[in-house]
Amino acid sequence: MRLRVGLLGGGSWGTTVASVVSRNAPITLWARDAATVDGINRLHENHKYLPGIKLPPALRATADMAEAVAGADVLVVGVPSHSFRAVLEEAKRHLRPWVPVISLTKGLELDTEKRMTELIEDILPGHPVGVLTGPNLAREIMGGQAAASVLSMEDEIVVRALQPLFHSGLFRVYTNTDLLGCELGGVLKNIVAIAVGMGDGLGAGDNTRAALMTRGLAEITRLGVAMGGRAETFAGLAGMGDLIATCTSALSRNRHVGVELGRGRAIDDIVADMHMVAEGVKSAPTVIALARHHGIDMPIARDVFDATQGRRSAQEIFRGLLRSSVGDEAHPG
């Protein structure tokens, strides 16, 4: 029997994952926006988030949560972190027991400092949880370009059973049982991408970008390992791979925020002009709190936090970077 999939979220990444899954299984996408639902069903296009890209005719959309969730054998959640809890609470009324729940969201809940899989475990106890993460830019995948991703769950049997749902053609899906590490890699790289974008907006060169990405990866790994992740995870697709894509692509929302900060724009104006959420802006305060709790020094994350809170400008941050002291690369003080 083919597994039936429900996907919550009509943004660019949710729509992309739903399109990929539709090649392997029946899937129903839920979105609140009636125009998005109508466009997917009638015109096979998500005009708001993926304009000009044809979606598979097999992909169905609905604005009725029960229709997407009640019959699902697997539930995929791709809504922004700030609405994740509320959407799960709504889905809970319709979800059958023991259905696996997979998060697509690379963020943290601001008030509780929790990862999205922790929210799933809190609100939907007894459901196997996982994440799909990696260097995945929606428009490239929809354009037919090759990409690799990671499906991570702690149960190796369940993750291997679900892998074929997401693996399709040039979209290659690997498995990893380090759920915490994979999820954190997706969250933390957004912070570094904002820092890299600030450098790009200020006209910094490739040397600066390489230094920020490398030192940023070291920060990510230190915090990730302190929280219980495996170091090798952060050298893989969910860590380094995602970091490279997010820090270098013009399609990256978080890098875009950094570029605009580097050009001197105010954070509120940048966010107001964006159709989609840059999770790094929302996650920065939580990442700083986690670093403090675990006793991890994260100077790049701290700079990004200051910039996104309007405490210091990108120009001030980069002037300070040039004056800061340096120590042992492998054992930062």
Q: Is 52 annotated as a binding residue?
A: no
Q: Is 205 annotated as a binding residue?
A: no
Q: With beta carbons less than 8 A apart as the criterion, state whether 198 and 307 touch.
A: yes
* Catalytic (active site) residue 114: no
For residue 255, the surrounding DSSP H or E stretch is helix 253-262
- Write down the pLDDT at residue 329: 73
**Mean pLDDT for the chain overall:** 94
Q: Is 242 annotated as a binding residue?
A: yes
pLDDT 10s digits, 87-140: 999 999 999 999 999 999 999 999 999 999 999 999 999 999 999 999 999 999
Q: Is 46 annotated as a binding residue?
A: no
Q: Is 279 annotated as a binding residue?
A: yes
Q: With beta carbons less than 8 A apart as the criterion, state whether 15 and 43 touch.
A: no
Domain spans in the chain, listed from the N-terminal domain onward: 5-177, 181-323
For residue 157, the surrounding DSSP H or E stretch is helix 156-166
pLDDT 10s digits, 296-312: 999 999 999 999 999 99
pLDDT 10s digits, 170-182: 999 999 999 999 9
Q: Is 98 annotated as a binding residue?
A: no
> Which of 48, 92, 114, 189 is the catalytic position?
189
Q: What SS3 class is residue 104? A: coil
What CA–CA distance (Å, rounded) separates 251 from 249?
A: 5
Domain 181-323, CATH among 3.50.50.60, 3.30.70.1400, 1.10.1040.10, 2.40.70.10: 1.10.1040.10
Q: Does domain 5-177 have CATH number 3.40.50.2300?
A: no
Residue 262: which residues within 8 A CB-CB, separation 6 or more?
197, 198, 199, 200, 201, 202, 314
